[in-house]
Each structure stands twice: as structure tokens, then as C-alpha cells.
A and B are shown apart, each in its own frame.
Chain A
Amino acid sequence: MGTVEGGEPMAAAGDLAVRTRGLRKSYRSVKGRSVGVEHLDLDVPAGGVHGFLGPNGSGKTTTIRMLLGLVRADEGTMHLFGQEVPRHLPQVVGRVGAIVEHPKFFPTFSARRNLELLAGAIGAPAGRVDAVLAEVGLEDRAGDRYKTYSLGMKQRLAIGATLLKDPDLLIFDEPTNGLDPAGIREVRETMRGLADRGRTVLVSSHILAEVQQVADTVSIIARGRLLASGSVADLVGSGGRSVRVGVSDPGGDAAREGGARDRAARVLEAAGHRVRPEGNLLHVDAVPDPSVVTRILAAHDLWVDELQPAAVDLESVFLELTADHGPGGTSAGPRTDVETVVA
């Protein structure tokens, strides 16, 4: 079962790889104080791939950094496998591998040498490096210098570094940023493979289609708050059906069709539907029955020329959920909706 904003957590604490309650982080700047994460309650079930979705600046990376002890939370609690962090992070960090943004390796060292250094720091067994290189498919290029690697290979090496600890939880922050389609596919398959071998993968992304292909469960945040969480199937199912509608005036004047479309949008919105333009058509979300749309429009002397049922995907659920959260909810780039307190 999924939950939406204000709902109950989706799993008991004992089954969770990650659990946060009331997590808050704000940043000071010369312009005042901006809130990165606002009382976030996040549950990541153990096992499978969990997508952590949100627009740029919604607080995903900050949340991950707090979980890893890189950033201090202002308020709230965090648990990894039931252990409170950051207080008990040293005890649980051996079960967690993470990539936060683009990890830095020694450019003149080979992949093997880079991993050997990290393995030496955590006391991993000698054979672990070769096993990891094989797991991420870099055994043939293990002796090459890191600086000769493609972006996709660098990202696979980063994933390999997280596997040195043989972790139960892998946290990937925007792992496909900057990758070409082949690289994205490689990373996606690697994540899926890790989850299929019993690990928990928490992957943050703002590319919804990509996550939908690999994730079992997702959490959607905007402006630092959790909007919804649950299995992908449940969330997509909860969005109802959506339809694309083309409308015209009874007089059939083509020049007036644009005006008819705008009028139809107003009529449907007045009836409580969420409508967005899509070319010459209107996209109407969360429609329980398409005939409702035709009845509403006919009642206002608007004729339906075209009615296409549209498959609901994570993107439409996401857009629907974040539509009420202002410019920072869905738009990329600098946030304009952060709480600002002038000191």
C-alpha cells in the first residue's frame, strides 16, 4: 500500500533499511535561512530498489548526506537498519555503501589501485577488489588509469567502491547524471542486479522514467517534504486514469478551436479536474470515467472531437503531486519557494 502526504508510514520499523522522522535541515546564508529538508518522514523497506524522487533542489541530496553523517540535521531522527545515526553510524557504516554525486578517485591510479586503497582503509579482504571489479564488469580494464575511463566506467567503478564493504544497503545519488544512454542502461542494470541479489538500493533521481524502469518502491518529495511513498504499481494505480481530449465549438469554426480548448480547460477545472495543455489537446488527470469528461463538456456546448485514454506513469503522478507545491515543486534550477527568515 502506498501513502500520500500526511499518511501513515508504509512499513514497520524492523523491516526498514532507512527510516527518518521529523528530519529537518536549514542553511544559513547572507539572505537569511533557507530550508532544505522540512520534517521528512522517509521509510525505505529492506530489499529491492527504492526510488527517491524529487525535482532539483527538493532535498534529496541533503537527506542522503544527513543519512551518511556528512551533514548535520537540525531536528529529527534517522535510523539505518534500526541503528540511530549519526550516533551509531560507525557501527552500521560497514553495511552501507554510498555514492554521493561524483566520487573523486586518483586520476593517475588504475581502477584496481584506487579500490585497493579504499579496501585498505576498511580492512576488506585482499580478494575483494577483484571480486568487485568483476561484479561491475571492469575486470578487463582494471589496470587502466582512471583518467582514461568513460563516464559510465567511472560510475561503475564508483558503484564498485561501494561494494567493497559487501553492503546490505547501497545509496546512489543521481547515479546517471552526465551519462549517455548506454551508460544509463549499464547503471540501471547494475542497480537491478544488486537488488535481485538481496541488497537494498536507494537511488535518488529527478528522471522519473528511469526510476520507474528499475524501482520497486518510491518516495516522492518536494520542497523537503514527503508527498507520497509506496510501490510503483500502487502509486501509478492511485492516480486513476487520465485522458487526452480534443474539443471544438458546435459551429465548427477552426479559428475558434483554440478558444474552445481554453474554455474547455476552464470548465473542467471548475468541475474539479486537473488539466494541462498538450499540443492541441488537453490532458485531464485522475479521471474515474472518461464519459464524465464528455458529459461536462457537452453540458457547456463543447463537442469532444477526440478522446484518448492515456497510460498513467510515474511522471504524471509526480506532476500531479507536486503541482500544488509552487515553482520549487517541479521546476529545475534555483528554488524560489524556500522559507526565508531575515535575520
Chain B
Amino acid sequence: MRLLRVELTRFRARGAVRWTALGLLVVTMLLVFVAFTQARPMPAEEQAQMRALFEDQVDLWEAEGDEWVADCEERQAEDPASDYGCDQMAAPSWEDWVGQTPTFATTGQEQVSALPFAGVAFALLVGASFVAAEISTGAMGLWLTFEPRRSRVYWSKAAAAAIGALPVVLATFLLGVAGIYAVYAAFGRVGDTDATWTTLAHVAGRTLAAAALVALAGAALGAILRHTAAAIGVVAVWFLVVESLVVPQVQPELQRWLLRDNLGAWIFGGSEYAVPVCSITEQGQVCEYVQREITQTQGGLVLLGAVAALTVLAVVLFRRRDVS
């Protein structure tokens, strides 16, 4: 506990932690601004222009609509194997034209869903830099002359990163939710929030758990790679290349095990990914994308397993390596 207290003090004092927290705050404010641009009602002039366009379309439908439907039905009769959607052809409605009115309970909640990922990214960065910077600058050497039991040193640092990141993650999440809510409330577009607050409370709790685990993973990467830039680079390549490009294109079934999707499943109570399912028909090979589900339980277990594997490797290396 003594070491942990000291490490928490060092964590709070680090400039890198403060700057990264500031970055997270900026990202949160940007999300609130995005919510503002989507929540505000359309200006009257723009609305008048849209109304005029809409009325033009209504006039056109009234003049030509019957003919369009007749043409469609004729083509459908010639090609019964296809679905031309003639029964869905109808006069334009104003609701369809301008779209659903955004509310905090619908659109706002979707915008809030970006906050946990930002918080988790913060936890990863500060976890990695907290350990890697001490190793790369040589500060670890001084520390180990005071406490040579390396396992204790590792765990105190990793735990400090995990615990130290949580207040920032929670504060920015709450700030983001409050900001987005305030934006919608200011325009009278809160909507039906009976279930929203419960959902957001659960998301907040699971975000904190995920942030703590990811901070541990960041600390492990920092200990393994010994440079913050290397740790960030590996994570960036993993997510941008492996998870976003290689796996979905080469082995789509493996998306089930992607960290990004499993992290999302854990935080939001499940997630989906699409895999192409192809079959041979008279027209040739036909592929359609089928949605597959990742459960919240699986998401949590995959996250836990990945963090455990990285941590075991980091502890082994940290105990055995020479400290320069």
C-alpha cells in the first residue's frame, strides 16, 4: 500500500498525464459541439427552402406518381424473381423529408457512446507512458535501488495507472453526458429518458472497469516495449491495420475475437459484426452480409484474457531484464 500511495502521487504529478487528460477534455468538448450541431433546430430560412423543395416533390408525385407506380408494376410482372419495391412507393411525407427530430434519448445517447472509447484510449496512453517513461529515462534504476522487489514495483505502478486514470475517465464521461444533455435540453429535445439514465449508469460503470483493465494493458505494453512511442505505435498498427483492414478482409469470421468489437460488447451490452455469406445461384455467386452478435459476457472475458496475457508477459520480462 505504501508503494501504491507513492506511485499514485507520482502519477498525478506527471506532466504527460495532465496533458493527456487535457486532450481527453478537448475530445469531450468536441463531442458536445457535434451534439450541438445536430440537436439545434434548422434555421427558418433553411427550413423554408426545404419546405419549397418538398412541395415541389409533392406536386411532382401528384402529377406523375400513378404513372411511376404503373411502370414499376409492369417491370415487376416481367421479372418476378426480383423485388422492385413497388408497394413501398408513396407520396413524400414531411417527416421522411426532414428526418426524425433528434432527441437526447435517441441521437444524444448515440453521441454519448463515443465517450467510453475516448476514456479507454486515455487509460491506455497514461498506463503505457507511466511505466515506459520511467524505464526509458532511467528513473526505474533509482527506484529499484530503493525497492529491489521488482514484482512489487511493477504491480504498484500498474495499479497506480489503473486507479489514477479512473477519476479522469469518470469526470470526462459525466461532463460529456451533462454537456450533450444540456445541448438537447436547451432546444427542448430531451425526449423520453425513462430508460436512458439507467443505461448510461451501466455504461459508465462498465467503462470504468474497461478503463482500469486497459490501463493495466497499457502498463504491460510500456514494460514490454520500454518506450511510450513504441507502445502507442504497436497499438495504432494493431487497431488501424490488423483490426480495421486485415481481419475483416482476410478472415471476417475472426472479427469475433477483435479487441475493438469485444470492448464495445462489454461496454454497451453486446455488439455486432458482419460476415459475408456466399452461395451459388443461377445468376452466379451471390453474397450477402449476415450480422453476428458478440455478447457482453464474451466481450468482458476477451478483454480480461488479453490484459492477463499481456500482464503475465510484462511481469516476466520486468523481473528478468537488465535495467539500464
> 5 A-B pairs, CB-CB below 8 angstroms?
A69-B144, A69-B148, A93-B145, A109-B13, A123-B2
A89 x B2 contact (CB < 8 A): no
**Within A54-95, which residues are at the interface with B (CB < 8 Å)?**
65, 68-72, 86, 89-90, 93
A86 x B9 contact (CB < 8 A): no
Interface residue B280 (Cβ < 8 Å from any Cβ of A): no
Chain B residues, Cβ within 8 Å of A97: 145
Identify which of A72, A120, A165 contacts B5 (C-beta below 8 A): A120
Chain B residues, Cβ within 8 Å of A104: 137-139, 142
Identify which of A68, A100, A102, A165 contacts B148 (C-beta below 8 A): A68
**Within B143-174, which residues are at the interface with A (CB < 8 Å)?**
143-149
Interface set of B (CB-CB < 8 Å, partner A): 2-3, 5-6, 9-10, 13, 15, 137-139, 141-149, 320, 322-323
CB of A229 to closest CB in B, whole Å:
24
Identify which of A65, A70, A102, A106 contacts B10 (C-beta below 8 A): A106
Interface residues on A, range: 20 to 34
CB of B135 to closest CB in A, whole Å:
11
A108 x B15 contact (CB < 8 A): yes
Chain A residues, Cβ within 8 Å of B320: 72
Residue of B nearest to A89 (CB): B148
**Within A155-192, which residues are at the interface with B (CB < 8 Å)?**
161-162, 165
Residue of A nearest to B5 (CB): A120
Q: Return the 8 tightest CB-CB contacts between A and B, nearest first.
A: A104-B139, A70-B323, A103-B142, A71-B322, A89-B148, A69-B148, A120-B6, A98-B145
**CA gap between A106 and B142 in the complex, in Å:** 12
A101 x B5 contact (CB < 8 A): no
Residue of A nearest to B323 (CB): A70
Total A-B pairs, Cβ < 8 A: 66
**CA gap between A89 and B148 in the complex, in Å:** 7
Identify which of A68, A90, A101 contacts B138 (C-beta below 8 A): A101
CB of B29 to closest CB in A, whole Å:
26
Interface residue A207 (Cβ < 8 Å from any Cβ of B): no
**CA gap between A113 and B188 in the complex, in Å:** 51
B145 x A121 contact (CB < 8 A): no
A121 x B6 contact (CB < 8 A): yes
**CA gap between A120 and B1 in the complex, in Å:** 11
Q: A122 and B146 in contact (CB under 8 A), knowing A71-B323, A104-B138, A108-B15?
A: yes
**CA gap between A103 and B323 in the complex, in Å:** 13
Chain A residues, Cβ within 8 Å of B138: 101-102, 104
Can you name 14 extra interface pairs (CB under 8 A) apart from A65-B322, A104-B138?
Answer: A68-B148, A90-B148, A98-B145, A100-B141, A103-B139, A106-B13, A108-B13, A108-B15, A118-B146, A120-B5, A121-B3, A121-B143, A122-B147, A165-B146
Residue of B nearest to A25 (CB): B322
CB of B294 to closest CB in A, whole Å:
43
**Within A102-126, which residues are at the interface with B (CB < 8 Å)?**
102-104, 106, 108-109, 117-118, 120-123
Chain A residues, Cβ within 8 Å of B143: 121
**CA gap between A108 and B5 in the complex, in Å:** 19
Chain A residues, Cβ within 8 Å of B9: 117, 120
Chain B residues, Cβ within 8 Å of A68: 144-145, 148
A100 x B145 contact (CB < 8 A): yes
Chain B residues, Cβ within 8 Å of A100: 141-142, 145
**CA gap between A122 and B152 in the complex, in Å:** 13
**CA gap between A239 and B187 in the complex, in Å:** 94
CB of A92 to closest CB in B, whole Å:
9
CB of A302 to closest CB in B, whole Å:
54
Q: A121 and B2 in contact (CB under 8 A), knowing A71-B322, A109-B13?
A: yes
A65 x B146 contact (CB < 8 A): no
**Within A130-176, which residues are at the interface with B (CB < 8 Å)?**
161-162, 165
Chain A residues, Cβ within 8 Å of B2: 120-121, 123
Chain A residues, Cβ within 8 Å of B145: 68, 70, 93, 96-98, 100, 162
CB of A163 to closest CB in B, whole Å:
12
**CA gap between A100 and B145 in the complex, in Å:** 9
Identify which of A65, A101, A103, A117 contacts B6 (C-beta below 8 A): A117
**CA gap between A165 and B142 in the complex, in Å:** 13
Chain A residues, Cβ within 8 Å of B15: 108
Chain B residues, Cβ within 8 Å of A101: 138, 141
CB of A72 to closest CB in B, whole Å:
6
**CA gap between A121 and B7 in the complex, in Å:** 9
CB of A155 to closest CB in B, whole Å:
13
Chain B residues, Cβ within 8 Å of A120: 2, 5-6, 9
Residue of A nearest to B144 (CB): A70
Chain B residues, Cβ within 8 Å of A93: 145-148
**CA gap between A68 and B13 in the complex, in Å:** 27
Chain A residues, Cβ within 8 Å of B144: 68-70
**CA gap between A106 and B6 in the complex, in Å:** 13
**CA gap between A230 and B258 in the complex, in Å:** 64
Residue from B143, B144, B145 whose CB has the most chain A CB atoms within 10 Å: B145
**CA gap between A70 and B322 in the complex, in Å:** 6
Chain A residues, Cβ within 8 Å of B10: 106, 117
CB of B34 to closest CB in A, whole Å:
35
